[in-house]
Amino acid sequence: MTREQLEHVIRAAAEITGDAEIVVIGSTSILGQYPSAPLELLGSIEADVYPRNHPERFEMLDVIGEMSRFQDTFGYYADPVQHDLPTLPAGWGDRLISLPVATASGGRVVGLCLEAHDLVLSKYVASREKDRAFNRAAIRHGLVQRNVLLDRLGTMDVDPALRQVLSAAPPQPKDGQRRSRAVES
């Protein structure tokens, strides 16, 4: 999904739910902070979203969801999620990245995207293969810093075994391989 496609989903979600603030929590939220994110981070065709001020309206977004006419027409879709779905570090709501989106009527709505470190930590907790691949790419491209991840990890209620893995020093990079100071799984 591209930044323009994400803006389209945000605009449609805002119109459908009557909420001018749409929270984006999945991998496409990287586009809020990094509009030109590396292509390997942009493999998803869905945007995980919910209306911030009316989270109970998330199911209204099924009309632009998977296997909808919206997806058939545009090739991407909204994946409506409950507001408490991801496990996130304390203070994540204060770090949301604002993505202003113009509406057809000349107004504005806003997408609120997870900050990169919060996104990566939520993906560590989810721990699906696609999440691990996303995190490896975010780390390889230097989009997150190890010290920030570790600081925020300390605010999360996660399994002690996962905490130990995330707190461990990253392996040494191979010769010629770029590596940030972030944790890699």
122 and 111: one domain?
no
pLDDT at 161: 81
Average pLDDT over every residue of 113-135: 94
69 and 124: one domain?
no
Cβ atoms of 104 and 18 within 8 Å: the answer is no
Cβ count near 76 (within 10 Å): 19
pLDDT in tens, 139-180: 999 999 989 999 999 999 888 887 787 777 454 333 344 443
Average pLDDT over every residue of 131-146: 94
pLDDT at 180: 39
Outline where DSSP puts E strands in the chain: 21-24, 46-51, 77-80, 97-102, 108-113
Range of the domain at 149: 117-167
pLDDT at 91: 97
Name the domain boundary from 77, 100, 115.
115
Average pLDDT over every residue of 23-40: 97
Q: Does some domain include residue 173? A: no
Average pLDDT over every residue of 120-126: 93
pTM metric for this prediction: 0.87
pLDDT at 174: 37
Q: Does some domain include residue 182? A: no
pLDDT in tens, 32-86: 999 999 999 999 999 999 999 999 999 999 999 999 999 999 999 999 999 887 8
Bridge partner list, 111: 22, 99
